[in-house]
Structure 1
Amino acid sequence: MIFDKLKKFDIVFDSPDVDSPPVFSSGDVVSGRVVLDLSGESKVESLKLHAEGFAKVHWTESRSAGSSTAYTQNYSDEVEYLNRREVLLQAGEVTLPVLNSFFLLSSDNGEMTVLPAGRHEYPFSFQLPEETLVTSFEGKHGSIRYWVKVKLHRPWATVKKIKKEFTVIEPIDINTPALLAPQAGTKDKMARAWYRNFGQVSVTAKIDRKGYTPGEVIPVFAEFDNSTSRSVVPKAYITQTQTFIARGTMKQKRSVVGTLCGDIVGARTRETWHGRAIKIPPVGPSILQCRIIKVEYMLKVCVDVPGTSKLCLELPLVIGTIPLHPFGSRTSSVSSQYSVNLEWLRMAIPEQPEPPPDYSSVVTEEEAVQRNNAVVPRPAEDLSGILERPLMAFVQEFRFRPPPVYCEIDPNPQPINMRPRCMTC
């Protein structure tokens, strides 16, 4: 039978690493081959390839319509990102050999293509759209998937279909002024329990930038002021929020992907974090450009207050794919990078400035003596050529001169018995 003649039907993507599947982005060329392995001679009508990419969401909600009735509401939507069709083999075509045991024979009536027994490979290649695609994603209520589907049409047989997915990751470069900007904030609340005030709790936190990549460590600078009569516990979380949108309704799924727990802050005391580290786990990048699916991250610095609700300060994060470059992004200007660095340094200026160094620690005694000797007045007869000397020579003479000696005793005191001078005399 014809089903016994098809031993293998597969899609193989071209990849430099055989063990790992290929990863693409917008504008890349996706290439590979369709493999047919026949145990005997077989007739084929056509071999067609269809590349697709969709973002799809779907969930179901039960709603009550009365005391004894209820109905189910379905929410679904989709966005198309890729749709390309290609014919790899058409009945009646005559093709020259391309690979070993790969050749096509046309039948007499031109409606069938006869393939002999053996292995046949049909290469394919297509380019992804140049406009921005969306990163592949798998969520609870939706997904973003890209795949290649191939259909094999043969006479007197059902259509044989195979499907193989590939991954698309849109690059997010964190070396941009928006993602290199520091994030900071302050929040406070009055702790109450059973209509009694226990005092105020406040938290101030900042991080050096907004964009990070998986595996990086975020240094958290924070200050916790506990003015209550109870001890509190500061914590920090990295949260992921998946948002699904369909028919004007939004569904969200939140999860904690990273945790940092601090020391207990006693009553009416203050605690400071000088760069406490919280590591970003291997999570997917942020998805912000899709209309129906979004993946967002947040750093939450919280304080657990016994007997009352939690105080949380949220700082937005963007998880990218291109790590931090030591010299900044190629696309960002030098002035913008410099302004960002100055802004961060301005936030870290110490309260007590460092005193200037002593003059003796900068200039040795020998240099000071040499400089003093260099400024001895010249004889009158040598002043005639003074205008011929360059100006920098005089500047260098006074460069390392010692400052005047300070003394609290007046070197020219006024005599005590000196009478005031009479203006009329």
Structure 2
Amino acid sequence: MVAMTKRMKVFQIVFNDPSKTFYCSGDKVAGKIVVEVTEITRVSAMRVLGVGCAKVDYAKGKQRCREEIDYLKYEEVVQLDDHPADTDGSVILRPGNKYEYTFGFELPQQGQLVSSYEGKFGSVQYYVKALMERASHPAVECKKNFDVEEPLDVNTPDLLSPASGMKEKKVTCMFIPDGQVSLNAKIDRRGFCEGEEIFIDAKFENTCSRIVVPKAAIVAKQIYQANGHTKVFRQKLSSVRGNHIISGMCDAWLGKTIRVPKIKPSILGCGIIRVEYALMIYMHIPGSEKLILELPLVIGTVPYSGLSSRSNSMSSQESTASTSWVSLRMPSSCPPSYCDITRDVRLDQPHTPLLDDYDGGDSPIFMNSPQFFPPLPPYSEVEEEYNGNSRMLPVY
């Protein structure tokens, strides 16, 4: 960004390494300020500022909520090399010449910065600003942004630990009990990076009269804090779905995969902005609220260096005879499976708010409709791509 005048032909900031995509804590930000003028100009001083700050700004009713935290504050006065200066430190710039002011400064050490971020109600931005002060004239400035990405290693013991959980829900129809649905899910670790596959082991049980659909999605939660208020914005980033489960049946996911899309790493160290992720495993229940289980995720920058998630998932499958983490009523002797396929629908659409999570393809079907209910319209199913393995078992 340049605030130009008729005296300025060129006034811009150029980094020494323009191909560098991002900086980390401790890196040196260096470059030059290039100036060309159209008429003789006396420059009193050239100031260089390095700025980094987190800002939150949103409306809550009639109140405007604003908050700001500084992470980088650097300032210096730079001089022209091999160019004479007056006793007051000012220099005269003449047309036809190119002048270059060099600058350089180090970013604070690890733990003192937060990665760059641009969100719906706030941002974390870093930039270099050049301020040219001129005698008897307003100052002229230009600005150039740069990105900071703090390393976040997913190979820590906490992020390598598995995450699991169980949820169940009693279903009613016109205040009459209509059975229940339950799910039990596990992932082998919590830390992932962009492009990695998350392998899901899960069991779903349906004893209500309706056909339910198990699904999984990666969701992002942006948390903004300002003036004592908190604003949360949720997005669904990608999702997969399983087979329809009819009344009295169970379904099992053994290593069903969902890929981590291209997303920003988690932001956990900022006092006013947090970006968190979760794997949401849920069951769509026609005519009722979803049954939802969320397993926490941390999206990092340093990829997993151990055995592949698939190897770990396959190992877990080999030990499913015990399946101590599964509390569903699975029969000891399973009948032959009549459904050996799992749907895997990948959404390549823009981020979709969860409030718009439309389940139009899941018709509100009852396996045994109460007599006082009118006949339901015929069910039509859209053909989708099938991938993976699943087992559907009767409930005893």
TM-score normalized by the length of structure 1: 0.70
Where does residue 401 of structure 1 map in the other structure? none
Whether the 8 Å contact between 1:299 and 1:314 is mirrored in structure 2 is yes
- 1:356 paired residue number: none
Q: What's the counterpart of residue 222 of structure 1?
A: 202
Q: Which amino acid aligns with 1:351?
A: A
Asked if the contact 2:21/2:147 (under 8 Å) is kept, the reply is yes
Pairwise CA distance, 1:247:
2.1
1:74 aligned residue (43, 56, 64): 64
Please, which of 149, 159, 162 is the counterpart of residue 129 of structure 2?
149
Q: What are the within-5 Å matches in structure 2 for residues 6-405 of structure 1? A: 6-15=8-17, 18=18, 20-62=19-61, 72-89=62-79, 96-97=81-82, 104-107=83-86, 110=88, 112-117=90-95, 118-132=97-111, 133-326=113-306, 349-351=319-321
Tell whether the 8 Å contact from 1:182 to 1:344 is kept in structure 2 after alignment.
no
Deviations 1:386-406 (A, max 9, x none): xxxxxxxxxxxxxxxxxxxxx
SS at match of 2:77: strand
* Shift of residue 174, structure 1, vs aligned partner: 0.4
CA 1:96–1:122 in 2, change beyond 3 Å: closer, same or farther? Answer: closer
Counterpart AA for 1:155: A
Q: Where in structure 1 are there 5+ consecutive unaligned residues?
A: 63-71, 90-94, 98-103, 329-340, 353-425
The equivalent of 1:355 in structure 2 is none
CA contact (8 A) 1:14 1:22 kept: no
The letter of the residue matching 1:294 is R
Structure 2: how far apart are the matches of 1:176 and 1:344? 22
Task: Report the Cα distance in structure 2 between the residues aligned to 1:22 and 1:30, rounded to whole angstroms.
Answer: 12
1:208, 1:344 within 8 Å by CA — same for their partners in 2?
A: no
Displacement of 1:348: 5.0
Query: For 1:192, what is the secondary structure of its paired residue?
Result: strand
Between the aligned partners of 1:27 and 1:348, the Cα distance in structure 2 is 46
CA distance in 1, matches of 2:161, 2:101: 50
Structure 1 CA distance, aligned partners of 2:94 and 2:187?
66
Output the amino acid matched with 2:91.
T
Q: Distance in 2 between matches of 1:188 and 1:248?
A: 35
Q: CA deviation at 1:286?
A: 0.3
Distance 1:212 1:148 in 2: 32
- What is the deviation of 1:4? 3.8
Supply the RMSD in Å over aligned alpha carbons: 2.3
SS at match of 2:262: coil
**Matched residue SS, 2:158:** helix
Shift in alpha-carbon separation, 1:120–1:317, aligned structure 2, 3 A: same
1:151 to partner: Cα distance: 0.6
How far apart are the structure 1 equivalents of 2:174 and 2:129? 63
Aligned CA distance change for structure 1 residues 220 and 111 (closer, same or farther; 3 Å):
closer
Shift of 1:157: 2.3
Return the alpha-carbon distance in structure 2 between the equivalents of residues 96 and 289 of structure 1. 41
Q: Distance in 1 between matches of 2:170 and 2:154?
A: 37
Q: Displacement, 1:41? A: 3.8
- Asked whether the equivalents of residues 201 and 227 of structure 1 are also in contact (C-alpha less than 8 Å), the reply is yes
Shift of 1:254: 0.5
| More divergent stretch after superposition (314-323 vs 38-47) | 38-47
Cα deviation code 1:273-298 (max 9, x no counterpart): 11111111101000111111000001
Shift of 1:343: 12
By how many angstroms is 1:131 displaced?
4.1
Q: C-alpha deviations, 1:96-131, integer Å up to 9, x for none?
A: 53xxxxxx2234x64531233311111111111114
Aligned residues: 315
2:394 is aligned to none
State the Cα distance separating 1:168 from its structure 2 match. Answer: 0.6
**Is contact 1:146–1:165 with CA below 8 Å preserved after alignment?**
yes
Query: Normalising by structure 2, what TM-score?
Result: 0.75
Bigger RCO (CA 8 Å, 6+ sep): 2
Q: Distance in 2 between matches of 1:322 and 1:58?
A: 31
Looking at structure 2, the residues matched to 26 and 111 of structure 1 have their Cα atoms a distance apart, in angstroms, of 33
Q: Distance between the aligned counterparts of 1:300 and 1:343, measured in 2?
A: 19
Deviation at 1:197, TM superposition (A): 1.3
SS of the equivalent of 1:24 reads coil
Supply the AA of the counterpart residue of 2:148.
V
- Secondary structure of the 1:172 match is coil
Query: Residues 163 and 137 from structure 1, CA distance in 2 versus in 1: closer, same or farther, beyond 3 angstroms?
Result: same
TM-superposed deviation, 1:325: 1.1
Q: In 1, are the aligned partners of 2:188 and 2:313 still within 8 Å (CA)? A: no
Higher helix content, 1 or 2: 1
